[in-house]
Structure 1
Amino acid sequence: MVVNREGPTHRQRQALATKQQIAEAARALFAERGYVATTITAIAETADIPVPTIYSAFGNKAAILKDILKRVVATLNVSRQHEQARDDPDPARGLRRLAGLQREQFEAMYDVMTVTTEAVRVDPEIAEELRRIMASRERGFRRHIEAIAPHLAPGTTVDDALDVYITLVLPEIYHSLVLERGWSPDRYEAWLADNFVHQLLG
């Protein structure tokens, strides 16, 4: 009789655990030293995993960073939260929910965003990945704005609203207000939500 196993095998679970251990070590080093200064050897030492195993699991440093990005985004369930905000019958409340999601994203992955920005300058693989992510992100923003288009402020086109939206959620603004000026995340979220509503709905 053949027994069909459900879920990953023991070896597969070990491989997944190893990749997670590598990703966690790399994320800590990227945040501390930066992308360029972090070597595979340093990641191996921090993770306590042999260098050949890291190359076998990922292939290169860019693949490790892409894996970190995917792991963080998966914890946020961004697509589902965007859908819920877009489907809210109250456009102002939907925009405020988006402000909350943006705050969550910055809190969860600002360090990864910073490292990715650095990596783009030296790694074409990461540059391509970031272009893909940003294009997907912009499509999500546009879908939301198109859904509330009848409620936009007089004279405001979907393209205008999208430009404002993208500008308001720039990481540089979060960095300035929260990390440099000392705003609390709650205050940042309230400021972003108020600007969404005022700038887009009028």
Structure 2
Amino acid sequence: MKVVPEVKRPYQSTLRGAQAQSTREAVIDASARLFVEKGYAATSIEEIAAAAGVSRATVFTSVGGKAKLLKTALDVAIVGDDAPIALPDRPRSKSIRAEPDPRKYLALYAELVTEIDARLAGIHEAVRGAAGVDPDARTLWESHLAQHRQGAANVISDLTRKGGIRKDLDPESAADIVWLLGPGVYHMLVNRRGWSPERFQAWLTETFISQLLPAEPVRSRRAAPIVRGSRARAASRRRLSN
């Protein structure tokens, strides 16, 4: 009797892939939430598994150990999803870079930063705290800071191509300003001080523009025309007659 090999149906593979991705997302979400709420050191794999509704083994097979979970949670917070596409390569970033006007460019960039920081600020602080107690977390923190600084330098390069930054500001100092105004500032002003995201975005836009770009020239009011000769005498007589 000839044995016919079983042919896997495409929809079965697709379904399994979707289920695996759903499980992975649940684990990432649970780990990010617990790292923010409890801290990295105080969070166990068992707690993450329980929060995600999976087994301990599934946490490892779907994502990895605690260090991998922390890195993945940070990466997802930055870009907004688990797709392997870097932030500069995403359509939103490309659209912002295509804006030729420096002020509009910074306004669009501030809008994007505000949206990212709303997701990122909590896990950013969790990674900062973990860096003090775990060598892997320290490595992640240093890498995160370096990537953020490089992103800031890229913004200044964009501005230079679009017309330039203030003449009294060197590119390195300008990049430091952009780097400074990141998720840590959002955390302090929005999460701690109670600013609304809208207020933060407006402030960030104005701060970027005022700190990085040359001041716009002040338009003087047009002077009133000077009336001379017979026209002046006629105007004077009219005033006297009134």
Question: Which category describes the TM-score, using the shorter chain as reference length?
Answer: 0.7 to 0.9
1:41-190 pair list within 5 angstroms: 41-75=46-80, 78-79=87-88, 80=90, 81-149=92-160, 150-169=163-182, 171-190=183-202
- After TM superposition, the runs of 4+ consecutive aligned structure 1 residues lying more than 4 A away are 2-8
Task: Report the aligned-residue RMSD.
Answer: 2.6
Measured after TM superposition, the shift of residue 183 of structure 1 is 1.8
Q: Which runs of 5+ in 2 are unaligned?
A: 1-6, 215-242
1:99-134 CA distance string (max 9 Å, x none) = 111110111222211211122222322332333333
Q: Which amino acid aligns with 2:196?
A: S
Greater shift, 14-23 or 70-79, is seen at: 70-79
Greater shift, 103-112 or 192-201, is seen at: 103-112
**Is the 1:82–1:140 Cα contact (8 Å) retained in structure 2?**
no
Q: Which runs of 5+ in 1 are unaligned?
A: none
**Is the 1:177–1:183 Cα contact (8 Å) retained in structure 2?**
yes
**Is the 1:25–1:47 Cα contact (8 Å) retained in structure 2?**
yes
Please give the secondary structure, in 1, of the residue aligned with 2:133.
coil
Q: Which amino acid aligns with 2:131?
A: V
1:40-69 CA distance string (max 9 Å, x none) = 111122222221222333331111122222
**Is the 2:122–2:187 Cα contact (8 Å) retained in structure 1?**
no
Q: Against the structure 1 CA distance between its residues 7 and 64, is the aligned structure 2 distance closer, same or farther, given a 3 Å change threshold?
A: farther
**Is the 2:35–2:43 Cα contact (8 Å) retained in structure 1?**
yes
Partner Cα separation in structure 1 for residue 192 and residue 76 of structure 2: 27
TM-score (norm 1): 0.85
Q: Against the structure 1 CA distance between its residues 90 and 8, is the aligned structure 2 distance closer, same or farther, given a 3 Å change threshold?
A: farther
Q: Structure with the greater relative contact order (CA < 8 A, sep ≥ 6): 1 or 2?
A: 1
Q: Which amino acid aligns with 2:38?
A: R
**Is the 1:35–1:118 Cα contact (8 Å) retained in structure 2?**
yes
The match for 1:13 is 18
1:7-36 CA distance string (max 9 Å, x none) = 954333332222222122222222221111
TM-score (norm 2): 0.72
Q: Against the structure 1 CA distance between its residues 83 and 127, is the aligned structure 2 distance closer, same or farther, given a 3 Å change threshold?
A: farther
Partner Cα separation in structure 2 for residue 53 and residue 9 of structure 1: 19
